[in-house]
Amino acid sequence: MTRTVLTIDTATPAVSAGVVRVDGRAPVTLAERVTLDARAHAEQLTPNIVAALSDADITGADLDAVVVGCGPGPFTGLRVGMASAAAYAHAVGVPVYGVCSLDAIGGGTSGDVLVVTDARRREVYWARYHDGVRVAGPSVNAPADVPALLDGPVAAVAGSPAHTALFDLPVLEPVYPTPSGLVAAVTDWGDPQPLVPLYLRRPDAKPAPAVRP
């Protein structure tokens, strides 16, 4: 079965929208629009979606599914991407599938690979992959603490350039989740599961303590 899929990811500074054709072979990217700006998720996502559909010469009526990266990532970015994906899928009457955004980076690698992205607060989101399959994570830790958590050596690192540089390893592509990587991360095109964001942290805001009378 051939599917035309809209992809969305806002788990990293790359505000990404793409159109991918899936026909049982390797996913083919028909269009991709990316804005690198960690503060522009809300402003740039919709224009990127519209531009990607236009570049692929299709409309929402031609879509069969929407795939969205569910993180790990900062609260605001994930909220924008996942809410937009759910709303767009509902508007055009197609299912929406959520995937781990790190899988869209690590899924195409071979051997033992570490994938890292920016978690802010001097930390990284990370996951370990063996031949493209996630075997540990996603987790969030200080970069210096990650090697001890890997359960063995890895051969290379992929992901955010500023954070791959913190590890003494060969650096692989891709840098951010790609449209084809997001689609390849879907393991079941049957009934989609509810979208669950991978925040990996407790909210910064905490309830005020109760005041005793």
Residues 57-77: tens digit of each pLDDT: 999 999 999 999 999 999 989
Furthest CA-CA distance within the chain: 67
For the domain covering 3-101+177-185, report its CATH number: 3.30.420.40
User: Residue 179 CA to chain centroid, in angstroms?
Assistant: 9
CA–CA gap between residue 84 and residue 76 (Å, rounded)? 12
- Characterize the bridge pairing of strands 124-130 and 133-141: antiparallel
Write out pLDDT tens, residues 146-178.
Answer: 999 998 999 999 999 999 999 999 999 989 999
**Taking the domains of the chain in order of start, what are their residue ranges?**
3-101+177-185, 106-172
Q: Note the pLDDT of residue 204.
A: 46
- Answer whether residue 206 shows pLDDT above 60: no
Write out pLDDT tens, residues 119-145.
Answer: 999 999 999 999 999 999 999 999 999
Q: Note the pLDDT of residue 132.
A: 97
pTM greater than 0.75 (yes/no): yes
Q: Note the pLDDT of residue 129.
A: 98
CA atoms within 13 A on the CB side of 41: 22
The predicted model gives 15-20 an average pLDDT of: 98
Cα separations (Å) of 52 from 8, 29, 34, 38, 153? Answer: 11, 10, 9, 20, 39
Write out pLDDT tens, residues 23-32.
Answer: 977 899 999 9
Over pLDDT 90: what percentage of the chain? 87
CA–CA gap between residue 72 and residue 200 (Å, rounded)? 7
Residue pair 89/107 in contact (Cβ under 8 Å)? The answer is: no
CA–CA gap between residue 40 and residue 171 (Å, rounded)? 27
Q: 3-class DSSP state for residue 53?
A: helix
